[in-house]
Structure 1
Amino acid sequence: MTKTDQTVIIARFQLKPNSDKQAFFDNLKPLFDTMSKESTFVNGIVHENVDNPDEVVFYEIWNCSKETWLAEEESKAYRQGPYTRAAEFLVGRELSFYTSMGEWGTTITAGKHFS
Structure 2
Amino acid sequence: MSLTIRELRLSGIFDLRCSSLIDRAAAEAIKDEVGTLLLNMHDVAFMDSQGLRILVCLLKMLKPHGIKIALCSLSPQVKVLFEITSMHRLFEIYDSHEGLLAAKKKDVNAVQLSLA
TM-score by shorter chain over 0.5: no
Name whichever structure is richer in helix by fraction.
Answer: 2
Please say which structure displays the higher CA radius of gyration: 1
Give the TM-score category using the shorter length.
Answer: 0.3 to 0.5
Calculate the TM-score normalised by the size of structure 1: 0.32
TM-score for the superposition, normalised by structure 2: 0.32
